[in-house]
Amino acid sequence: MKKLKELGVRISIDDFGTGYSSLNYLKELPIDKLKIDRSFIKGLHTNKQDSMLVSTIISIAKNMKVEVLAEGVEDVAQLNILQQKQCNHVQGYLFSKPEKPDYITQNFKRLQENARKYFAN
């Protein structure tokens, strides 16, 4: 993996906090980004434990100087909380459903404009 990094490949840990993801990976792997699993985002504004776990993951990422991305953002309330928690990146149905590459290429400007309405300039 270190040789891949030397080639410019960026490495992310997907679904961090679930399944086989482990804090040991943070120590062992040359990662660039943690992706917070959508299961924590789903209850972000209704479940105190989810909110605390998201804050902790963001804090870990910032302390390790890696980016953090929240998966599964579906509503503005989730987005606002993530912005307050200083999450670097978000993705989810709030912005667009998954699309084929050709669709994204043809509609990039429209998709970009749709996403911009949620962010202050």
What is the strand order of the sheet 12-16 is part of? 12-16, 33-36, 67-70, 89-90
H-run or E-run covering 69: strand 67-70
The predicted structure's pLDDT at residue 78: 96
Domain 2-116 is found in CATH 3.20.20.450: yes
Which residues, including other chains, have CB under 8 Å from residue 2's CB and lie 6 or more apart?
30
Highest mean pLDDT: which range of 1-15, 19-33, 61-75, 106-120: 61-75
For the beta carbon of residue 35, count every other beta carbon within 10 angstroms.
Answer: 21
Site of tokens 């030397």: 6
In sign, the C-alpha dihedral spanning 17, 23, 25, 27 is positive
The predicted structure's pLDDT at residue 106: 93
Decide if pLDDT at 48 tops 60.
yes
Decide if pLDDT at 105 tops 80.
yes
Residue count (the chain):
121
Domain ranges of the chain: 2-116
**Helix, strand or coil, per DSSP, at residue 84:** helix
Strand 33-36 and strand 67-70: pairing? parallel
The amino acid at 91: Q
Work out the pLDDT band at 15, boundaries 50, 70, 90.
low
The predicted structure's pLDDT at residue 103: 92
